[in-house]
Chains A and B, each alone.
Chain A
């Protein structure tokens, strides 16, 4: 029994049409994804837009309906309808991508951060204010800003308010959906480091969703790479960055810019090599529909989507 186990998760969106709005087909946003996360670790989910990584995160927390598959958290099944409202949900929280739209513009910071507390804990007005103040301090904001509105804060500050709200219920798992991609680059590192600080402090587990391999390299212990709703490769940080097996991963890794001019030549060669391989052996990595194959083990920790041998 793992901490979070996702088994063969499928999320399909129906395509409606025709005379009576029948379902004509499905968009397979997530098509058979399996992974598990260990407690206290950060698991990175990487892919281009439309690859299904966000949908995976949203399905785990219950914002998208699961078509098939199983999600279990500390052994408890999250897939059934009943669990949507159960207390397990309290242990899983989410940080949203856009700090502008994820905070209700008509609510004061106090009301925003206190929202989860009001749902699960019955606190007196005074105690609630105290808790919100503590939470704000924890994320590095002054407790005086409790009566301000979200638009009075910068993007980075807003994301901190979002984090304060997320950790209010002392969750165990936090799904961070591109938490910094809407922020200025200068602020990104600040927020990331601070996320790592509170991870240690509160013993949090992150499911870190991002398209930015640089950020993922900085944050994550294990990484899964998604493409068109499927996994193409999964492994530890070393597996992915030092020994990428799938051509898609290789191309991603090759695209990471390197600031050190000494490596420029090597980088260029690596990139060209990958490009050649991509042109020659595309068919070895993708099936006729352009989708990835099933996962094969390369080592204990490393899985790659390759056609079955033989």
Chain B
């Protein structure tokens, strides 16, 4: 067991190093550098050059890379030239918003997937199953951004049940009950539309897993022993089918990150995805690279966690 975890950790480090190289390469390819945004264009070019040398901007790439990594390790992500503040500070609030959006989406994803998947798998080929399969079929083919737009159009604009942008009503005092309520209200629409689309994978997986398990010999044995139908499902089938699903949440992170970009943009939700897009448009490149790096690390760690949980749940993986 521990062998698998150690081995899995061993391949995580090169992944993070590769990611940092990729992000560094991106940063290097980007036009301009830390100085071009900060300085007054009227300053003497010789003085700029001197400043560049002092800051190490003319160093060979490997030294720059080493400096950059050293900064990262100390939590220094550079300066945002647009907002004139350290990227870490800029990101903080956005990260909290995106975190809650992610959590809400994951909760909804499982809240939708588990009952639907179980119903569909247990009563397969009934009308309920056909409805659910129809939903997953359409869900697979619908691009998230179109779905989100339609949801916003209907529930935000036509019915006006939900706010159409922001993460909280302006003027609320943090910490009050109304503040929290308003936050939740702003969260609902984006996270639900994201969950409704991303959950179809899980629903389908759960369905086919249950249908598979149903026909296994040990289930037939359990029935033959006289176990009641509910006992067969709760004790035998669900235990085998739900655990892998629970472990998938780490893998979901990669998908969630892509989803949040769309959803935050469409619902005007001030999170990391929106910040990312704003920074790309505003050519605030140190923010762009930081966001890519952070989300890259999040995906790597997500996959790591999922793999470890899966190996605990499913011994077959360990032998690989």
Direct contact between the two chains A and B in their complex (CB within 8 A): yes
A interface list, Cβ under 8 A from B:
18-20
Q: How far is the CA of A18 from the CA of B3 in the complex (A)?
A: 7
Q: Chain A binding site: helix, strand, loop or mixed by DSSP? A: loop
Q: Chain B binding site: helix, strand, loop or mixed by DSSP? A: helix
Count, chain B residues at interface, CB 8 A: 4
Write the nearest CB–CB distance from B317 to chain A, whole angstroms. Answer: 15
Write the nearest CB–CB distance from A14 to chain B, whole angstroms. Answer: 16
Q: Cβ of B7 < 8 Å from any Cβ of A?
A: yes
Q: List 7 A-B contacts (CB under 8 A).
A: A18-B3, A19-B3, A19-B6, A19-B7, A19-B10, A20-B7, A20-B10
Q: How far is the CA of A88 from the CA of B230 in the complex (A)?
A: 68
Write the nearest CB–CB distance from B53 to chain A, whole angstroms. Answer: 44
**B3 partner residues in chain A, CB cutoff 8 A:** 18-19
Write the nearest CB–CB distance from A69 to chain B, whole angstroms. Answer: 32
**8 A Cβ contacts from B1-40 to A:** 3, 6-7, 10
Write the nearest CB–CB distance from A23 to chain B, whole angstroms. Answer: 16
Write the nearest CB–CB distance from A17 to chain B, whole angstroms. Answer: 9
**A20 partner residues in chain B, CB cutoff 8 A:** 7, 10
**A19 partner residues in chain B, CB cutoff 8 A:** 3, 6-7, 10
Q: How far is the CA of A20 from the CA of B9 in the complex (A)?
A: 12
Taking CB as reference atom, which chain B residue is nearest A18?
B3
**B6 partner residues in chain A, CB cutoff 8 A:** 19
Taking CB as reference atom, which chain A residue is nearest B3?
A19
Write the nearest CB–CB distance from A15 to chain B, whole angstroms. Answer: 13
Q: How far is the CA of A20 from the CA of B6 in the complex (A)?
A: 10
**B10 partner residues in chain A, CB cutoff 8 A:** 19-20
Write the nearest CB–CB distance from A145 to chain B, whole angstroms. Answer: 41
Write the nearest CB–CB distance from A246 to chain B, whole angstroms. Answer: 38
Write the nearest CB–CB distance from B14 to chain A, whole angstroms. Answer: 14
Write the nearest CB–CB distance from B238 to chain A, whole angstroms. Answer: 34
Q: How far is the CA of A18 from the CA of B7 in the complex (A)?
A: 9
**A18 partner residues in chain B, CB cutoff 8 A:** 3
Write the nearest CB–CB distance from B124 to chain A, whole angstroms. Answer: 33
